[in-house]
Amino acid sequence: MKMRQGYLWAAFCLWALTFPLLQASSDGLVRIGLKKWRLDYNRIRAARMARRAKSIGGVVKSMYQGFGDSDGEPVLLRNYMDAQYYGEIGIGTPPQNFTVVFDTGSANLWVPSTKCHFSIACLFHSKYNSRLSTTYIDLGKEGEIHYGSGSISGVFSQDNVQVGSMAIKNQVFIEATREASLVFVLGKFDGILGLGFEEIVVGNATPVWYNLLRQGLVQEDIFSFWLNRDPQATDGGEIVFGGVDKRHFKGQHTYASITQKGYWQFEMGEFLIGYQSTGFCEAGCAAIVDSGTSLIAGPTAIVTEINHAIGAEGIVSQECKEVVSQYGNMIWDLLISRVQPDAVCSQIGLCNFNGSQIESPRIKTVVEEEDARGTKVGNEVWCTACEMTVIWVQNQLKQRKTKEIIFSYVTELCQSLPSPMGESVVDCGRVPYMPDVTFTIADKHFTLTPKEVRFHSQVVSSSFNVSVSIMPLLHKSQFTFQYVLKTGEGITTVCLSGFIALDVPPPRGPLW
């Protein structure tokens, strides 16, 4: 994975949760409530530092007639910083309660174990005690899961799991005995409940959602999220298993077919900034709906263009500017000569022909062998900087701009690259003048504005094996920003870009 991936904001992977309330309602739904927490910028920076070296995780039917008519099982959620939504489950007999992130970007269930003795994170969270459960089974197998925000390891166990009013028999999960990330220390959540496909599960365990279906605990193979962005609301939202709560949306959903099992992956069309084409997804881009990712993540090259357009500031990338200065003319000549863009960087010697970084051609001494890792990272940075430069120049050439204008623009983009710590801060005074950004999904435009608008809720539904549906929701009269996160008051106010750079390598990536 490329160096730019380290720019992720651990801030918004702080899956910090409060204790949810479990309640039943007359419509047969079980809801898990959410609460709004104030954004703590200092804690964000601390967590961001811990995340710099981490890598991306995971390894990250026909359309219904009478959609949502069935009685589903809702679990109320709580909201932390308008960035993570979590709820409560029970494990064991009698149930031991845990708060978990319902994460469509992974497929395993794990919670901390009383066998966890050397990880600070375990000290601050509820821990599963197998001795207290009469239905516990020791599977005698170890496992490890890597996320974008850190990793966990532990032992596989089997027990009954309570989700809302549904009791899952013989669910395999991981008792975490090691949590290797400051993110898990700062987070208020205990564990993660993966809702991805079994193709990305670790340890050949059957995911919770599969067991809900196989044990006949839901009537329809569909689950849905309602995410409430109202900071004053008691409930932060809900996840409904087996249906959709019609009280939380109006109009029709837009369906997008699943293109690859693993994540909830679909094809995204053109991406627009200020209603102008970026040229980046004209032929389609792979995207996933990931309830465990707090912000909008995309390839570094295009996210840099977005942050430039909205005036987000990052640390100047010297490597990027050096590529433009030293190789800009060569890149220009090759593109003008109709060399394929993905071959340009290999032809000038900064990447391999397969698009990856090159190794230094000279023979290494014994001492230099010790620095091999650092050399590889350095070459990787140059390759990445070249690839981004090619993308930017190519997009500008399509708009028939002059060479001078293009390279002036590209140099500005270099200065807008996310900083090594991931910060992309915008001037709060400029928010009303920032451009709209538009995603095209299933041939329909979904436009986000930085301005304060009355939209504050969203429904995302997943129909098993087939499709995802997405719907902005007009609800109440609460004002909120759509792609800018605003925290603090008065002179302490900080506005953060809602876009983060994430370069997922093949074969899973690149991904939005």
Catalytic hit among 82, 159, 245, 290? 290
Distance CA 230, CA 222 (A): 26
Distance CA 164, CA 298 (A): 34
Distance CA 122, CA 137 (A): 22
Catalytic hit among 103, 230, 245, 503? 103
Which DSSP category does 343 fall into?
H
Distance CA 220, CA 223 (A): 8
Check if 371 is active-site.
Answer: no
Which DSSP category does 313 fall into?
B
Provide the 10 A C-beta neighbour count for residue 195: 25
Q: Mark residue 165 as left, alpha or beta (left: phi above 0; alpha: psi -120 to 50; beta: remaining).
A: alpha
Distance CA 35, CA 17 (A): 8
Crossing angle of helices 318-336 and 372-398, rounded to 10°: 50
**Of 96, 181, 110, nearest in space to 143 by CA:** 110
- Residue 202 in contact with residue 152, Cβ under 8 Å? no
507: Cβ contacts below 8 Å, ≥ 6 apart:
none
Phi first, then psi: give them for residue 406, nearest 5 degrees: -65, -50
214: Cβ contacts below 8 Å, ≥ 6 apart:
206
Distance CA 203, CA 226 (A): 31
* Helix (H) or strand (E) run with residue 42 in it: helix 41-51
**Of 287, 217, 295, 218, nearest in space to 259 by CA:** 287
From residue 323, how far is each of 60, 359, 376 by CA, in Å? 31, 17, 17
Report strand pairing: 109-112 vs 166-180: parallel
Q: In this structure, what is the dihedral angle of CA atoms 342, 348, 351, 354, given to the nearest 10 degrees?
A: 40
Collapse the DSSP code of 396 into the 3-class scheme (helix H, G, I; strand E, B; otherwise coil) and give the result: helix
Amino acid in the structure at residue 270: E
Distance CA 478, CA 270 (A): 30
3-state helix, strand, coil in the chain (%, to 5): 25, 30, 45
From residue 435, how far is each of 300, 302, 451, 499 by CA, in Å? 19, 15, 9, 14
Report strand pairing: 254-257 vs 484-487: unpaired
Amino acid in the structure at residue 228: N
Check if 103 is active-site.
Answer: yes
What's the burial of 120, exposed, middle or buried (CB within 10 Å: 0-12/13-18/19+)?
exposed
Catalytic site positions: 103, 290
